[in-house]
Amino acid sequence: MNLQSSLSFINVESLCTDTFGRLLVWSPRLASTHDVVLHNFCELSIGSVCLADIQTKGRGRSKNVWESPLGCFLFFFTLQMEDGRIVPLVQYVVSLAITKAVKDICNKNGLPSIDVKIKWPNDLYLNGLKVGGILCTSTYKLKKFNVSAGSKTFLPQNKRIEIDVAEYDTIKYWKQRALGLEKLLEASIQREQILQDKLLERINNIER
């Protein structure tokens, strides 16, 4: 894949993180955000996040293929680890980070709380309906695990999305949408980094 011709690269300066989310790779339409991260891992800096508005061949468990229409929140990021015992825990950290991020954004903006729950190991549910899923894959190279992790969060299938075309096709709309995505991404990444640090701390305590 030619990254330069198919994707837009955005340097995000407002995040309070060291690596996660500093490079945002975006496209209005992709076959799979997971595949972009997986197949171009060595070309992307660690912590890079790939976002798409529409996804046509997203990957699920057991090689399931997902189509994701406009309105879904699709992202994958790069992560590198040396301890293989921690790699299986990444999907739990991502699940927890997303549920916490949703609650934090609601609280900060004075919105009604959205109680997103986790159905282990990697599904997100709201009011008994599945609204998202987590996928983490890894490869081993040069004594390090290259982890591609991310999520697809969507509306239940029986919910319609009404779009005002005139509003949709404006610069103001896209600026607001980009700001909303950045806030959600920032909250999720910050939570994820904190949870990962806690997991590493507990593992180190067990080994002592």
DSSP-assigned letters across all residues of 159-203: ------HHHHTSHHHHHHHHHHHHHHHHHHHHHHHHHHHHHHHHH
Highest mean pLDDT, choosing among 75-89, 165-179, 189-203: 75-89
Instruction: Give the position of tokens 């890894």.
Output: 138
| Of the listed ranges 101-110, 127-136, 179-188, the one predicted with least confidence | 179-188
Dmax over CA atoms of the chain, in Å, equals 61
Q: pLDDT tens across 37-82, in order?
A: 999 999 999 999 998 888 887 665 555 555 666 767 788 999 999 9
What residue spans of the chain are helical by DSSP H?
3-6, 33-39, 90-108, 165-168, 171-207
Distance from C-alpha of 31 to C-alpha of 67, rounded to nearest angstrom: 9
Q: Could you tell me the pTM of the whole model? A: 0.67
CATH classification of the domain holding 15:
3.30.930.10
Query: Where does the pLDDT of residue 129 fall: very low under 50, low under 70, confident under 90, or very high at 90 and above?
Result: confident
Q: How many CB atoms lie within 10 A of CB 68?
A: 21
Residue 159 has pLDDT above 70, yes or no: no
Enumerate the β-bridge partners of residue 78: 148
Q: How confident is the model at residue 195, as a pLDDT?
A: 63
Taking CA atoms, 58 is separated from 35, 64, 65, 102, 180, in Å, by: 8, 8, 5, 22, 23
Token couple for 73: 């929140």
| Mutual angle of helices 90-108 and 171-207, in 10-degree steps | 130
Please classify residue 77 by burial: count the beta carbons closer than 10 Å to its beta carbon, then call 0-12 exposed, 13-18 middle and 19+ buried: buried
Q: Considering the chain, what is the average pLDDT of its residues?
A: 77
Identify the sign of the CA torsion 193, 14, 40, 38.
positive
What average pLDDT score do residues 178-193 get? 64
Instruction: Give the position of tokens 């299938």.
Output: 157
Identify the sign of the CA torsion 118, 115, 126, 165.
negative
Query: Where does the pLDDT of residue 139 fall: very low under 50, low under 70, confident under 90, or very high at 90 and above?
Result: very high
Q: pLDDT tens across 74-117, in order?
A: 889 999 999 998 898 899 889 888 888 888 888 888 888 888 88
Look up the domain containing 21 and give its range. 3-207
Residue 204 has pLDDT above 50, yes or no: yes
Distance from C-alpha of 38 to C-alpha of 177, rounded to nearest angstrom: 26
Domain count, the chain: 1
What average pLDDT score do residues 197-206 get? 63
Taking CA atoms, 126 is separated from 113, 131, 180, in Å, by: 11, 6, 20
Distance from C-alpha of 190 to C-alpha of 15, rounded to nearest angstrom: 9
